[in-house]
Amino acid sequence: MNYYRAIIIICLFALFFGLDGCDSFGLPSRAKEVISSSSANSDLRRQFIISSIPIITLGLPAEAAETTAEAIRLISSKTIPGLGPPDIYYPPNFVGRWKTTRVISSSDDVFFKELQDRGVKLPIQVTSEMRFVPYNAGKDFQQQETNPDSNTVPAIADRSFNEQSYYAALSEEIGRLYQQSSTKSSLPSIQRCDWTPTNPNVLALEYSDGSSKEIKVTKRSSDVSNDGSNLFSSEFRRITVVPPSSSSSITGGIPSVYKSRVLTKWRQVSGSNDVIEGIEILYNEQGTLGDRNSDPLQMGSNGVISSLYGGDSKDLADWRSTKTKILMERMK
């Protein structure tokens, strides 16, 4: 294809500067005849060709990316204003099903704080499945998992499948730990999950107790190493939670909206395409620091944050973090 591009450029050069200036390029004789026959109306033809240059050059297919990193950066460069890349794109070797082991090592999030108050201590190990598909797989993921081009096309995460699989495994593990701690409790099961790869920024969940949750990505960024073995991503999200309806209300309870951010880093293990390690840090906004006025580290005249921000620290957002180690092993 580069050959034809060169011929077009040489022909345009000849139309403007004559054939003598093009002999060193090795212009084909047929091209010289075409150019010579057009000399009578050269001015008109030059104007026509100038206007046609964008059409001629854009009509030729662009060169394919030579490396995984180039392919991912090329797709990610098609950003949406205010949002960033349309999705997080992974190296092609991510395509397929993975046995995923998550170790939740530490958290001050309210959810895990309540678990610890009931006798369930961290770390917690959760084993589930994750699925990645070629980014151009369309809606029929089942047929596209065996796409012959999947080893060259960047991948995206099947967020619906991954969320349901992880939630079910987490619920099962928490139930098992509750039995050991003689405390009875369980998480409501997911009844419905709405997500589409053509609009990957919204994931809507409905639970068996009548509650619901919507996770909407508001901004994202990602970066990949030159050899494609390491990937980093960041997503800001807005989460809307609707509690179950009460006996006096037909609809759900009063919704609560909070901000969230998830940072993830992936790394191939010893260059293997079948084992990938990851680290995830999840930040959830839970009220303001003023709600933590019993914590001497956060508030009070001698508090660390108060010493930095003064009396206004009580209005700062209270971010709680959860740190998780991830190990993915390809399922044969």
Q: What is the DSSP letter of 84?
A: B
pLDDT of residue 47: 58
Question: What is the pLDDT averaged over residues 155-162?
Answer: 95
* H/E segment holding residue 207: strand 199-207
pLDDT tens, 89-113? 999 999 999 999 999 999 999 889 8
Of 87, 173, 93, 185, give the one whose Cα is nearest residue 128: 173
Name residue, tokens 């940072």: 263
Of 238, 239, 216, 199, give the one whose Cα is nearest residue 86: 199
3-state secondary structure of 133: strand
54: pLDDT strictly greater than 50: no
pLDDT of residue 304: 53
Query: What average pLDDT does the structure give for the chain?
Result: 78
**Quick one: what percent of the chain has pLDDT higher than 90?**
42
Burial label, 108 (beta-carbon count in 10 A; 0-12, 13-18, 19+): middle
Question: 212-224 and 230-242 as β-strands: parallel, antiparallel, unpaired?
Answer: antiparallel
Higher pLDDT, 10 or 128: 128
Lowest mean pLDDT among 227-231, 251-255, 281-285: 251-255
